[in-house]
Amino acid sequence: MVFVACGLNHKTAPLDVREKIALPLAMQDTLLGELVDLPSVNEAVILSTCNRLEIYCDAAHPDGILPWLAKSRQLSPEFIKPFFYSHHGRQGLQHTFRVASGLDSMMLGEPQILGQMKQAYQQACRAGTVKHNLRQVFQYVFRASKRIRTRSGIGNNPVSVAFAAVQKIGQLFTELSSLKVLLIGSGETSSLVAKYLHNAGVTQFLVASRNPENAKQLADAFAGKSLTIGDIPHYLAQADVVVTATACPLPFITKSLVEHTMQQRNEAPMFFLDLAVPRDIEADVCEIAGVHLFNIDDLQKMTEKGMDERKSAAMQAEKLIDCELDNYIRWRRSLQAKKVICDYRKQMQELAQLELQRAMQKLDSGLSHPHVLTEFSERLLNKLIHSPTVGLRQAAMDNREDLLDLAHYLFTSPAD
């Protein structure tokens, strides 16, 4: 197998180029089929995200992939070539390990890429473009990336405002599954917060937005309830956590509103997270007993610290990748000996079975056990060493010291 990882990403290509080259999900089964129809491509997986398009394949001569990609996107190879990279063998494997572990991501250490890679692999499996070789690669990569993330701790520290927000909520509430969360705003930040909270166990969401359609879409994604902005005062007391991320020019959650809300809640604690600039929540809300208010600057400090810690963890992760890669290559090499070992064992078993049958016949004829067993052991020994003996003599006559050294290593190594 010649493993190849090729494509382009946020480091090599600007957004307008990535937009042109992104492969639509609905077309990927067809595109995967086209890939493995190329003369030198035996197996293939396509990973297409907003930050990268990568093709992982078993390909002896991958030169045809770039022209194929250009043709599929109705572009010229010359347009793509400056942004395109191709890593082969160990380098390709190392790149794949780094991608799966989040070390090659725009947001260092982010976990989403592993899920995206798993989805890409599963789609290729369904399309029939993953066989023995890539199956072994990706199954090992998935297991190894989990070990790398766990041992390095690269995903432990927040590096995005949304992730920092969820970590802050987790510090204040020990049981997230019982929380009710009100999201005000339905943009990307609110969506990310909802996703992270849902992954952490939150199941109750209210979503309010100036755009009712967007609010409903986000609420439906997490089996929540959509609201209008005008509904907020009526539902605020139901929320344990309030996350705001709108573009309103003035604060619309006032101190008096929160004071009234806390009375309705019998002073039960509330967590307010204001991710908006300008702010959505009046700053003096934090003076109310039982209210915890954090703004985007508070979380930015967490992300800066988190990024420093992730950079340190990334150094450890790189070392772990080297170890995992060495282990994988050794494991692959051991598989190459498997067929030889199996064939040799089968041959020896057949010899032993023939001699055993011969010995049993002699015992049935009345010959003494010691005589039969002695002859059996001598004949079996002679047959077992016949081929190696002939081969070693020939190696000596041909001055093949390498084979003689190998035989010495194999025949004199102590058995476990």
Residues that are catalytic: 50
Residue type (1 letter), 273:
L
DSSP letters spanning 51-85: SEEEEEEEES-GGGHHHHHHHHTT--HHHHGGG-E
CA distance 264 to 259: 9
Check the annotation: does 51 bind a ligand.
yes
Question: Residue 327 annotated as binding?
Answer: no
Phi-psi region of 90 (alpha: psi -120 to 50; beta: other; left: phi over 0): alpha
112 is in an annotated binding site: yes
The answer on whether 347 is annotated among ligand-binding residues is: no
Q: How far apart are CA 103 and CA 107, in angstroms?
A: 9
Gyration radius of the chain's alpha carbons:
32
For residues 218 and 221, give the distance between their C-alpha atoms in angstroms, rounded to a whole number. 5
Only one residue has tokens 């952490």, namely 200
- 52 belongs to an annotated ligand binding site: yes
Say whether 111 counts as a known binding-site residue. yes
Among 16, 304, 35, 51, smallest CA distance to 164 is for 304
The answer on whether 119 is annotated among ligand-binding residues is no
110 appears as a binding residue in the annotation? yes
Q: What is the rounded distance in angstroms from the CA atom of residue 143 to the CA atom of residue 330?
A: 16
Tell whether residue 133 is among the known ligand binding residues: no
Give the distance, in angstroms, between the CA of residue 280 and the centroid of all CA atoms in the same chain: 37
What gap in Å lies between CA 182 and CA 100, rounded to an integer?
A: 33
- Work out the burial of residue 112: count CB atoms within 10 Å of its CB; fewer than 13 is exposed, 13-18 middle, 19 or more buried: middle
Is 190 annotated to bind ligand?
Answer: yes
Question: Does residue 116 have a known ligand-binding role?
Answer: yes
Binding residues for NADP(+): 185-190
Binding residues for substrate: 49-52, 105, 110-112, 116
